[in-house]
Amino acid sequence: MSKMYDSVILGAGPAGITAAVYAARKKLDFLVIAEDIGGQTAWSGDIENYTGYQFISGPELTLKFQEHMESFGIQIHMPESAKEVRKQGTAIKTVTDKAEYLSKTLIVATGKSPRLIGVEGEKEFKNRGVTYCATCDGPIFKGKNVAIIGGGNSGLDAALQMIKISPKVYIINIASSLTADPIMIEKVKESSNVEIWNNSQVKRIYGETFVKGIEVERTGKISQLDVEGVFVEIGLIPNSGCANILKRNQRNEIIVDCQNKTSVEGIFAAGDVSSVPEKQIIIACGEGSKACLSAFRYLSTHKF
């Protein structure tokens, strides 16, 4: 007979890690399954709105998260990816790319993944000039011209990082104006090495072994920009594919109530994969704690 856990937590971003810390404090018999630690936090640049830190970088905060988990001796299976979740009687079965697990409750905190632009050259030059993480890969492009695809917060966060080390930064924005927070827009526009292309769309990424440039369409005209780095920052897609048994909204986010309950009894969701409207690190942490407390309450009031 397979071991029955009190809970399985999918994901080790801010929501999953916080849920795990709460589960450890509640002395639950649980397991964390994740592809990596930190999730989007590890990709973030300068963080100035996380309570208790006037300033901390994404990688530094991720390390703090990891240290917190390790202080509780939390069991984590990594790298491991959840493929399917289904009910098996009163239990919940989680099928991953490596094993199957049974649990009384489940917390889905799998976050989101970068959206692709879907143009010629994107896949061919991935990790050879095309990247989805300025924090991770930005230093590689020091002294090189780069293009940032996207005019929202993630795009301008990448731009603000690259402005410091690249001689020329192009921001390619499909909308008529930048949509990031005003203070970020102000900082970008103050930089002398930034060129903003609104109403523009990347049509092709080209090069040889590595990226050499991009073709951009603006007002019906195709232009070529000589860049060696392309940072794709056009939004994120919920990693909810493993949870097809749960109700999701039009954005494929798992629908939850204020107690993080999903449409299936015993399954809870937290963080960016859920329908909670604001996607922030600190909000994901709060939602992770709520999800665990709800799971604990469920375990305390149900017979198995």
Q: How far apart are CA 296 and CA 281, in angstroms?
A: 23
Q: How far apart are CA 213 and CA 169, in angstroms?
A: 13
Please confirm, yes or no, whether 137 is among the known catalytic residues: yes
CB 160 within 8 A of CB 183: no
Q: Which helix (H) or strand (E) holds 16?
A: helix 14-25
Question: Could you give the angle at the alpha carbon of 60 between the alpha carbons of 146 and 17, nearest 5°?
Answer: 115
Both tokens of 68, joined, read 């917190």
Which bin fits 252, alpha (ψ -120 to 50), beta or left (φ > 0)? left
Residues in the chain: 304
Please confirm, yes or no, whether 285 is among the known catalytic residues: no
Please confirm, yes or no, whether 258 is among the known catalytic residues: no
Helix (H, G, I), strand (E, B) or coil at 182: helix
CB 267 within 8 A of CB 246: yes
Helix (H, G, I), strand (E, B) or coil at 95: strand
Both tokens of 162, joined, read 């690259």
Helix (H, G, I), strand (E, B) or coil at 11: coil
Both tokens of 286, joined, read 């709060």
Q: One of 136, 181, 226, 257 is an active-site residue; which one? A: 136
Helix (H, G, I), strand (E, B) or coil at 230: strand
Tell me which residue of 234, 230, 214 sits closest to 222, measured CA to CA: 214
Q: One of 133, 242, 285, 292 is an active-site residue; which one? A: 133
As annotated, the active-site residues are: 133, 136-137
